[in-house]
Amino acid sequence: MENPTQNKKSKVFPIIGGLVLILLIIVLAVFAGTKIGKAPTGIQTEDPLIESEGAETGIPPLEISEDLPVEVQEILQEATTQAPGASLVTKDDKVVNEQGVEVKNDAAPMSAEAPRLTPPIKESDLSSSAIKLKASSEGFSPQEFTVKSGTSVTISLTSEGVDSRLVFKDEGLRALEIPVPAGYTMAKTFNAPAAGSYEFYQDIPGRSGETGVMIVK
């Protein structure tokens, strides 16, 4: 004789199983759509270096304050950048901040007076004049480069497999430090100092022997 309780269970289980399967399909479909679809405008992807086709760099353009003198606003409007997110370069080749004031190489790093550190960028976004350095567990490459005193200079640092932090030994260039997480490229644009040789090194524990030289003529 058929047990009524067992009969009800045998009918309920397939229904529950069917509902779970449908729910699972819906979840998978939504997840697939999220992964395949492009990121909505204005929303950054998980990796700042990954951009949807045709997208801009994701770095908002400089908003020039209307409180600044008209002549300063005009200077900033005509200024350019040598790397996305870096400090501005005026038409007379001076590196300035958002207030139109020339940046200082001896300012506190990351302060308003210091050259601005870019967010992670692509090497292809850099100007052709940029000094492109790479840092690995074996040191800097190239270890030496030459620039002209008084001109705008952009240095980029690409960390290959290890975290890196380029720092100049001269305290007068303390604002030029460039810290970069492993696998990324970041840069700074600044006014080249007086003629001389300026040594830089890797400011990571256990790697102080990795050095290089900026020659200014």
Look at residue 44 and tell me whether its pLDDT is greater than 60.
Answer: no
Which CATH number among 3.20.20.70, 2.60.40.420, 2.60.120.620, 2.60.120.10 corresponds to the domain 70-216? 2.60.40.420
Banded model confidence at residue 62, pLDDT cuts 50, 70, 90: low
Q: What's the average model confidence in pLDDT over 49-57?
A: 37
Q: What is the pLDDT of residue 60?
A: 60
> Distance between CA atoms of 49 and 47, rounded to whole angstroms?
5
Banded model confidence at residue 6, pLDDT cuts 50, 70, 90: low
Look at residue 21 and tell me whether its pLDDT is greater than 50.
Answer: no
Provide the b/e sequence for 46-77 (b: ≥16 CB within 10 Å): eeeeebeeeeebbbeeeebeeeeeeebeebbe
- Supply the mean pLDDT for the chain: 78
Q: What's the average model confidence in pLDDT over 143-165?
A: 95
Domain locations along the chain: 70-216
Q: How many CB atoms lie within 10 A of CB 213?
A: 14
Look at residue 39 and tell me whether its pLDDT is greater than 50.
Answer: no
Q: What's the average model confidence in pLDDT over 137-159?
A: 95
Pairing relation of β-strands 88-89 and 95-96?
antiparallel
Look at residue 53 and tell me whether its pLDDT is greater than 90.
Answer: no
Taking CA 52 as the corner, what is the angle to CA 182 and CA 60, rounded to the nearest 5 degrees? 75
pLDDT tens sequence across 158-171: 999 999 999 999 99
Selection from 142, 143, 145, 154 nearest residue 191 by Cα: 154
Full-model pTM: 0.71
Q: What is the pLDDT of residue 34?
A: 35
Banded model confidence at residue 75, pLDDT cuts 50, 70, 90: confident
Q: What is the pLDDT of residue 74?
A: 80
> Distance between CA atoms of 19 and 111, rounded to whole angstroms?
58
